[in-house]
Amino acid sequence: MTKVLVSGACGKMGCEVCRAVYEDPELSLVGVVDISHIGEDIGESVGLGKLDICIKNDLEATLNELKPDVMVDFTNPSAVMNNIKTAIKCGVNSVVGTTGITVDGLEEIESLLKNKNVNVFIAPNFAIGAVLMMKFCEKAVESFPNVEIIELHHDQKVDAPSGTALKTAEMMSALQKKDIFELPEKEILKGARGGKFKNIRIHSVRLPGFVAHQEVIFGSKGQTLTIRHDSIDRVSFMPGVVMAIKQVQRRKGLTYGLEKLMDL
């Protein structure tokens, strides 16, 4: 049994992770941490009934007390780096779904993991369909170099663009050919053309009603190609999260992206 602690357990993703871990016969939910609902039973909070697992708010003390095999973090961009550092300090492997970690942050994590017997897995998106969407886009850009990304998320998501959009743009830009049509810049309203990652425009939408969605539009003479993925329920991320929990102990150092676990 892999012992799991969930950080950010009372958030929407954290609640789903608690349920997924509890229901998997190979995993054991041993502790939860959050800044809200402290002292309450997490089972009653997520609809599983009383589990005798109280919500705590001191991550380091809880990690040292419970000594889990894996910490799963779904918190927020302002807290995630400190949480990862705390887990490394405590000798606990991490699976991280919190977005907003910068390139410098990834490099810092790699540095902290040197000569340590602890691993970190980070993914911008844990939906298997989203990973396939990114791989399909990577193939499509070889023939359709003119491309833009539209990502749509719920109104509580604080970072923009999404980690998935940035990862998709990074993957495509590495294979993008040079014959890209460049429209002269003439924004009447600043930002109307979105942000830009190398040669790829990214547009972010934040509205109530959405969960996580991404549409990648390719344009060529006389035709367009659209590749889209929709997560309509947060349960769509759980197979990927569970996969990462079960594999992180065997993945040395820092692993970035669910595709690494899917051998794509």
Whether pLDDT at 226 is above 90: yes
What value does the mean pLDDT of the chain take? Answer: 94
CATH number of the domain that 172 lies in?
3.30.360.10
Range of the domain at 114: 2-122+234-262
Burial of 256 (C-beta count, 10 Å sphere; 0-12/13-18/19+): middle
- CATH label of the domain that carries residue 29: 3.40.50.720
Q: CB 203: neighbour CB atoms within 10 A?
A: 19
Quick one: 118 and 238 in the same domain?
Answer: yes
If asked whether residues 191 and 247 sit together in one domain, one would say no
Q: Binning pLDDT at 50, 70 and 90, where does residue 129 land?
A: very high
Residue 43 pLDDT level (bands cut at 50, 70, 90): very high
Give the 3-state secondary structure of 23-85: HCCCEEEEEEECCCCCCCEHHHHCCCCCCCCEEECCHHHHHHHHCCCEEEECCCCCCHHHHHH
pLDDT above 80 for 47: yes
Split at pLDDT 50, 70, 90, the class of 187 is confident
Q: How confident is the model at residue 67 (pLDDT cuts 50, 70, 90)?
A: very high
Sheet holding 223-231: strands in order across? 195-197, 200-206, 146-153, 212-220, 223-231
Residues 208 and 192 occupy one common structural domain: yes
Residues 10, 111, single domain; the answer is yes
The Cα 229–Cα 223 span in angstroms is: 20
pLDDT at 92 over 70: yes
Residues 118 and 189 in one domain: no
Provide the number of structural domains found in the chain: 2
Separation between Cα atoms, residue 33 and residue 154, nearest integer Å: 23
Higher pLDDT, 64 or 190: 64
Same structural domain, 227 and 138: yes
Distances (CA, A) of 140 to 101, 224, 226, 257: 27, 11, 10, 20
Contact in structure between 244 and 125 (CB atoms under 8 Å): no
Whether residue 83 is found in the same domain as residue 156: no
Q: Which residues touch 1 (CB under 8 Å, ≥6 apart)?
A: 26, 27, 28
CA dihedral 57, 63, 68, 70 (to 10 degrees): 80
Helix (H) / strand (E) containing 227:
strand 223-231
pLDDT band at 108 (very low <50, low <70, confident <90, very high): very high
Q: Is the pLDDT of residue 184 over 80?
A: no
> What pLDDT is recorded for position 227?
98
- In this predicted structure, what is the pLDDT of residue 245? 98
Are 112 and 212 within one domain? Answer: no
Based on the residue annotation, tell me whether 37 is a catalytic residue of this protein.
Answer: no
The answer on pLDDT for 17 being more than 90 is yes
Residues 76, 152 within the same domain: no
Average pLDDT over residues 88-114: 94
Residue 141 shares a structural domain with residue 219: yes
- pLDDT higher than threshold 90 for residue 133: yes
| Choice among 56, 157, 203, 213 that is catalytic | 157
Residue 180 reports pLDDT greater than 90: no
Residue 213 has a pLDDT of 97
pLDDT of residue 158: 84
Spot the catalytic one: 37, 89, 135, 153. 153
Cα gap 33→73, rounded to integer Å: 10
Residue 99: predicted pLDDT: 83
If asked whether residues 106 and 6 sit together in one domain, one would say: yes
Is 153 an annotated catalytic residue?
yes
103 shares its domain with 30: yes
For the chain, what percent of residues have pLDDT higher than 90? 87
What local confidence, expressed as pLDDT, does residue 264 receive?
A: 63
Q: Are 67 and 89 in contact (CB under 8 A)?
A: no
User: CA 78 to CA 75: how far, in whole Å?
Assistant: 8
pLDDT at residue 136, as a whole number: 97
Average pLDDT (136-145) is 95
142-151, 170-179, 217-226: segment of lowest average pLDDT: 170-179
Q: Which residue has the higher pLDDT, 109 or 100?
A: 109
263 has pLDDT over 80:
no
Helix (H, G, I), strand (E, B) or coil at 223: strand
